[in-house]
Amino acid sequence: MRQYPIIIFSSLVFLVSLFLFKVIFPALLITTAFVVLSILFGKFWHFKKTPALLLFIKSSTNLIISIILALSVFALIYFPCEFFVTEVWFWIPKIPALTAVSFLIFLVFVFNLIDWGKLVKIKFAWLLMLEVLVLVAVSVFVYRDFHQEKLLRERLPKIYRVSRPWAIQEQEVRVQGVNFFPSFKQGKVVVDGQEMLIRFWSETLIIAEQQVPTKFGQMNLSVVRKDGVASNSFPFEIRDPATLINF
């Protein structure tokens, strides 16, 4: 009699996975996995009172909850931070790989300290579980949004540093960033429509010289790539040499 629920649920799993993947083979694979797992679970259920199985379930629950929470909090904190630091504020092109790994290890360590088995037994455990589920759901959305947005912006030209905030004619400016294209696909450095003279061009560094300007004042510097895609703008001032004292 126990086989009927398995058949019904496996049909449901098949339909849902078919709807999600739109291909029959992965859906079949998931359904097979579900059936095998259900049968295994049924076999294990006979030994539910065994101390060894209880210990196994307790340790596995702790382990799985710790991992899920660590990954969720990681997604909630790290992805927005990385996105803002590298794509919005343009502080650094890339966060060092070890930072992310160390942060995840730290989170795993923290969540591992908590005995989840005990927490499940408290009075408002369902509320706690609900909070955990909400956290996981939010983290999935955060991961999806920030990750997709980052992937979209990954290939765009970006300026992270300009060697000086202002220049006068014939002065050189070093523009550091990423995705400027190689030297054989040179673009241009523009300050509010006024083009600078390119002295050196590479994927991550441009050395440009300020030509005789048509106007002075506070403007924005940006790099326009060969394919016409413009980078983020950087505040830059073109000064009048006549106004400089003791230059």
Partner 1 sequence: MKTHFPKYERFLATLFAAWLCLAVLKIFKVDFGLNLFAFFKILLLLTFILIILEVKKRWFEIWPIIKASFARFRAGFGEAFSQYPTFKSKAIHFFPLVFHLTWRGFKRYALFKDILLAFCLFGILFDIFIFELSWDWFILFLTGLWVWVVRLHRFEGRVSIAGGLIFLIMCPFLLIFQKEPIAEKAAVWAYMFLLVGVVQMVIEYIKELKN
Interface with partner 1 by CB under 8 A: which residues? 25-26, 29, 59, 62-64, 66-67, 70-71, 74-75, 82, 97-98, 100-102, 104-105, 108-109, 112-113, 143, 147
Residue 29's CB: how many other CB atoms inside 10 A? 12
Q: What is the dihedral of CA 134, 135, 138, 142, to 10 degrees?
A: -170
Cβ-based nearer residue to partner 1, 39 or 244: 39
* Helical axes 3-21 vs 24-45, angle rounded to 10°: 150
Least distance CB 150 / partner 1 (angstroms) = 8
* Region class of 90: left (phi > 0), else alpha (psi between -120 and 50), else beta: left
Chain position carrying tokens 């030994």? 47
Per the structure block, which two tokens stand in for 225? 């790539």
Least distance CB 31 / partner 1 (angstroms) = 13
Cβ-based nearer residue to partner 1, 137 or 197: 137
Least distance CB 49 / partner 1 (angstroms) = 24
Cβ-based nearer residue to partner 1, 10 or 112: 112
Alpha carbons 87 and 199: distance in angstroms, whole number: 27
Cβ-based nearer residue to partner 1, 147 or 161: 147
Least distance CB 51 / partner 1 (angstroms) = 17
Cβ-based nearer residue to partner 1, 139 or 222: 139
Give the Å distances, CA to CA, from 224 to 1, 66, 217, 232: 70, 46, 21, 10
Least distance CB 112 / partner 1 (angstroms) = 5
